[in-house]
Amino acid sequence: MSQGDGIEAVLWDIGGVILDIESVREGHVEFVAWLVETYDLDSVDAVVETWRREIGDYFRERDGTQFRPARDGYQRAIEASVGEPIVRDDWLPVFREILGDQLRPNPGASATIGTIADTGRHQGIVSDVDADEGRFILDQLGVLDHLDAVTTSEEVGRTKPDRAMFETALEKASVEPNRALMIGDRYSHDMEGATALGIRTAAYGAEDGPAVDHRLTDLRDILELLGIDE
């Protein structure tokens, strides 16, 4: 792929691509520690186990590509941990503050997005997140202002690989599928979902397969693919 190869839009996943997913896990553990202290619970380890089990069960109950808000999963995990109903306004501001302190981008993500923005190419998000949470994460990582569009599963009502997610992102970009590049970390969701619509793909951590057009070991390699000088 070269600069004249016709890529007019770069579509990014958030978790695992722009966002270091381990930093999210660290933030959740810090939040659980706050729950343990605030509600006088037994131990952080025990509540972390409950937290992960409840959130995992919540998303496994999803019907196909139907969207389920993460905030409802968090609510379920909190109440299972504490053992009583908790008003969302009592925990959400704390959750955001703690998570915001922990979030970090994957190496090269923020700088690469900024460099691509300077070229005038469209940059969009295609992510299975709640709308508010997605924008919060992107803002915390310092890349929101470099993006032209954010497409979330909450907005569309479906999750990847549902074609509606990619169709919505392409409509916002006003480009044909073969002039867009999807960067993702999950093969069936990002690579196969994008390929089904004719979108080119770049795998960052996703397993290999026929739906992968390019593999990235460093997000800064995208610049070379696009023919952009750093």
Radius of gyration for the alpha carbons in the chain, expressed in angstroms and rounded: 18
Residue entry with tokens 């979330």: 152
User: pTM, whole model, 2 decimals?
Assistant: 0.94
Query: Does the pLDDT at position 119 exceed 90?
Result: yes
> For the chain, how many residues are written?
230
Handedness of CA 146, 218, 15, 211 (dihedral sign): positive
Q: Which helix (H) or strand (E) holds 47?
A: helix 44-60
- Confidence at residue 2, expressed as pLDDT on a 0 to 100 scale: 46
Q: Model confidence over 122-160: pLDDT tens digits?
A: 999 999 999 999 999 999 999 999 999 999 999 999 999
Residue 40, CA distances (Å) to 44, 128, 129, 199 in order: 11, 34, 31, 51
Q: How many H-runs (helices) and E-runs (strands) does the chain carry?
A: 10, 6
Query: Does the pLDDT at position 204 exceed 80?
Result: yes
Top-level CATH class of 9-20+105-226? alpha beta
The C-alpha atoms of residue 157 and residue 128 are separated, in whole angstroms, by 10
